Amino acid sequence: MLGGAAKTLTNWLGGPFPFASTTETKIKRSPTNLSFPSNGCRCTTSAALHLPLTESASPGQFRVDILSESLPFIQKFRGKTIVVKYGGAAMKSPELQASVINDLVLLSCVGVHPVMVHGGGPEINHWLSRLNIEPVFRDGLRVTDAETMEIVSMVLVGKVNKTLVSLINKAGATAVGLSGMDGRLLTARPSPKSSDLGFVGEVARVDPTVIRSIVDSGQIPVVTSIAADEFGQPYNINADTVAGELAAALGAEKLILLTDVAGILEDRNNPESLVKKIDIKGVTKMMEDGIIGGGMIPKVGCCVRSLSQGVTTASIIDGRVPHSLLLEILTDEGAGTMITG
């Protein structure tokens, strides 16, 4: 369930994207209050440091009030780098995809420096199927032989990446697409399980020079998780891992992983048991106790590694919620679980 601040922001963003629309949209839902930052703590109460919004407020006044109340959050993140790993349901649904793209563009417009990292599993599977190649997975990881690696590269670099760049450009920002091989951004090494998985790799080294150049020019980098080793052999690398390592190398303020779950749950069978904020010690204990398991383990591990390398906070958020990026950044309530160092 979304709290008051989240509902307000989602209601406002339910209409046309504010920087791309020239027409007013009637607001049909009752407005509620946005909350102000509370020293990093997440709360479900809202501050009342503004004029109350009423049913009679015009759509224009409603939007201005919400933007005004977002100011402390915008000031907090202005000039800071935020690395967003994009995938899951948010990549498969056109509506959620548009939501993520618009969120990135809005953040860029107010002075935040977003960096997008993406995978593209469903699209890879689609093209493998069209070529009559059966996808094979072991322990949740794609088995990537030479033929599959060639297709993965073509799909991620040539199709998915360029589609995302085009969408961001269309929404009003300027995006630059690249893989880990461009500008020596990433150097890969074989995964310890490479004998079973083929060309599945890990990040051996990050040189963020090319990303910093793109960010400094006011553009949005869109990075796909393909990288080559020192001999030029391409590898398929988990996009969560790439996002975490890139966030650390950039000294990012925040790492955000979009997922298909609400966040970290105290009870995996109870979606209402969301842990809204936790530190490294707490999340490590949850893994040791078996509370965190399955596909959440590598995501949490990625967050912990990035935090230990200087990233301020890392969040695992629900990508099924429209505008979850803005809810995470521009409200106290967030859109999932925030992990701190």
pLDDT digits (tens, 9 = 90+) for 221-263: 999 999 999 999 999 999 999 999 999 999 999 999 999 889 9
Residue 286: phi and psi, rounded to 5, are -65, -35
Among 7-16, 208-217, 283-292, where is mean pLDDT lowest? 7-16
pLDDT tens per residue, range 92-145: 888 999 999 999 999 999 999 999 999 888 899 999 999 999 888 887 678 899
Active-site residue (options: 3, 87, 121, 319): 121
Please answer whether residues 70 and 77 qualify as being in contact, where contact means their C-beta atoms are separated by less than 8 angstroms. Answer: no
User: Domain segments of the chain: what residues?
Assistant: 80-340
Residue 76 appears among annotated catalytic residues: no
Please answer whether residues 246 and 211 qualify as being in contact, where contact means their C-beta atoms are separated by less than 8 angstroms. Answer: yes
Residue that the structure tokens 């080793």 belong to: 229
CATH-assigned architecture of domain 80-340: 3-Layer(aba) Sandwich (3.40)
The whole-angstrom separation of Cα 237 and Cα 142 is: 10
**Is residue 66 over pLDDT 50?**
yes
Among 79-83, 89-93, 179-183, 252-256, where is mean pLDDT lowest? 89-93
Residue 88 appears among annotated catalytic residues: yes
Residue that the structure tokens 């383990």 belong to: 297
The whole-angstrom separation of Cα 230 and Cα 200 is: 15
Residue 162 appears among annotated catalytic residues: no
Active-site residue (options: 65, 103, 240, 318): 240
**Residue from 185, 258, 194, 170 nearest 228 by CA:** 185
Active-site residue (options: 3, 85, 119, 177): 85
Report the mean per-residue pLDDT for the chain.
84
Active-site residue (options: 299, 319, 334, 336): 299
Predicted TM-score of the model (pTM): 0.81
Among 29-43, 180-194, 226-240, where is mean pLDDT lowest? 29-43
> Which helix H or strand E contains 278, and what residues bound it?
strand 277-279
User: Which amino acid, residue 80?
Assistant: K
The whole-angstrom separation of Cα 263 and Cα 136 is: 27
**Is residue 214 over pLDDT 90?**
yes
User: For 25-33, which contacts have Cβ atoms below 8 Å and span 24 or more sequence positions?
Assistant: 25/59, 26/59, 27/59, 27/62, 30/55, 31/57, 31/62, 31/65, 31/66, 32/4, 32/5, 32/7, 32/8, 33/4, 33/5, 33/8, 33/69
The whole-angstrom separation of Cα 71 and Cα 230 is: 45
